[in-house]
Amino acid sequence: MVNKVGLKYGPAVIEGVTKDSVLIVRLKELILATRTKFQEVQVVSTYDFGRALMLDGYIQSTEADEFMYHETLVHPSMVTHPSPQQVLIVGGGEGATLREVLKHSPVKEAVMVDIDGELVEISKKYLDFMHKGAFDDPRAKVIIGDGYEFVKRENSSKYDVVILDLTDPYSTEIASKLYSREFYYEVKRIMKRNGIMVTQAGNSYFYPRTYDYVLSNIKANFRIVREYWYWIPSFSYACNFIAGSDVLDPAGMNEDEVNKVIKERNVKLRLYDGKHHISLFKSRVLKSDFIRE
Ligand code: SAM
């Protein structure tokens, strides 16, 4: 993952965007490189994005732009739900998704299930700008385990919002079954009738076939399915998100309604607001007809 790319670059990480295109990010420092039971973990310091977490060679989040990803993943569904008291997060090892969920005053409990306990400890130690102490919030309950097994064993009709913040559907094996039809069936089972779920869904442009697989599995389980995406500079693509519910429609909220909820719940944000919300559901998600996955 960390190669000498050439004198003009010096040490850098080379991240595969597709099998034929890469992103080269020049490094200031390799802070940590280790292998946990589940994945290769690098914590690096970069010139363009500050400190970053990489898993199996893929940038997961960076100091410079993680707020764009985490606010766009979390708030459209949390704001659409009238009173999100019981929230489940699957994945999100850095703790930033947990941080964003806990900003909503109605939240009574945020359960975060991540398969990799070593990664959570690394995040606590090296990525404090991501979690900002969220792991210590009395409403947070962090469970280390496979999200697929947890959801299958969980009680029915428990959660108002379910947020799936997993590694990409086309990256490593450990998350692949959490993009399946069966998994979304179980997610729906553990949601309350007016619950809403959202998942990060990688990138529709570079991985159209994988994206369509995830989308069809969500559509097979939920009546209302809304797709959106947002440019994340350090990913060098627009990250896709897909929300599903039988009752709630994030695309049905107008700018004033979103801003009213943000104000009532006193949610402090850097990017997301009523305008951002509307723009997310107005933009068309694109798929390359040139790239063959
Ligand atoms: N922001 C990243 C992105 O956009 O790709 C993803 C966030 S996070 C780093 C991905 C998390 O998914 C990791 O913490 C990883 O341990 C977790 N994960 C992967 N497979 C899992 C599984 N089967 N159950 C629970 N967590 C899983």
Q: Are residues 108 and 151 in the same domain?
A: yes
Residues 141 and 278 in one domain: yes
Q: Quick one: 113 and 79 in the same domain?
A: yes
What pLDDT, in 10s, does the model give residues 66-92?
999 999 999 999 999 999 999 999 999
CB of 241 sitting under 6 A from ligand 1 = no
Residues designated catalytic: 165
d(CA 73, CA 75): 6
Res 11: pLDDT: 84
Segment 102-116 mean pLDDT = 98
* Ligand 1 atom index nearest CA of 70: 1
Supply the pLDDT for residue 2.
46
Of 115, 230, 234, best ligand 1 pocket probe by most atoms within 8 Å of the beta carbon: 115
Q: How far is the CA of 105 from the centre of ligand 1 (A)?
A: 25
pLDDT digits (tens, 9 = 90+) for 177-226: 999 999 999 999 999 999 999 999 999 999 999 999 999 999 999 999 99
Q: Is residue 1 part of a domain?
A: no
Q: Give me the number of domains the chain comprises.
A: 2
Confidence (pLDDT) at 5: 47
Q: Token digits for 204?
A: 């529709």
Residue 35 has pLDDT above 80, yes or no: yes
Containing structural domain, residue 156: 66-282
| pLDDT reported for residue 104 | 98
Q: What is the CATH number of the domain that holds 170?
A: 3.40.50.150
Q: Are 147 and 256 part of one and the same domain?
A: yes
Is residue 73 lining ligand 1, measured as CB closer than 6 Å?
Answer: no
Predicted local distance difference test score (pLDDT) of residue 8: 54
Is the domain of 39 the same as that of 70?
no
CB distance 200 to ligand 1 below 6 Å? yes
Last residue of a domain, one of 31, 47, 62: 62
Residues 113 and 223 in one domain: yes
Q: Is the CB of 175 under 6 A from ligand 1?
A: yes
- Is 171 in the same domain as 34? no
pLDDT band for 260, please (50, 70, 90 cuts). very high
Q: What is the pTM of this model?
A: 0.96
**Residue to mutate (ligand 1; options 37, 40, 94, 166; most atoms within 8 A of CB):** 166
Least confident of 106-120, 165-179, 190-204, 258-272: 165-179
Q: How confident is the model at residue 233 (pLDDT cuts 50, 70, 90)?
A: very high
Residue 93 predicted with pLDDT over 90: yes
Whether the predicted pLDDT of 3 surpasses 80: no
Q: What is the percent of the chain where pLDDT is above 70?
A: 97
Give the CATH number of the domain where residue 42 resides: 2.30.140.10
Given pLDDT bands bounded at 50, 70 and 90, which one contains residue 9? low
pLDDT tens, residue by residue, 120-130: 999 999 999 99
d(CA 179, ligand 1 centre) in Å: 12
Q: Give residue 45's pLDDT.
A: 97
User: Whole-number mean pLDDT of the chain?
Assistant: 94
pLDDT at residue 119 greater than cutoff 60: yes
Q: Give the end of a domain, one of 38, 62, 86.
A: 62
pLDDT of residue 96: 98
Ligand 1 mutation target, pool 42, 114, 207, most atoms within 8 A of CB: 114
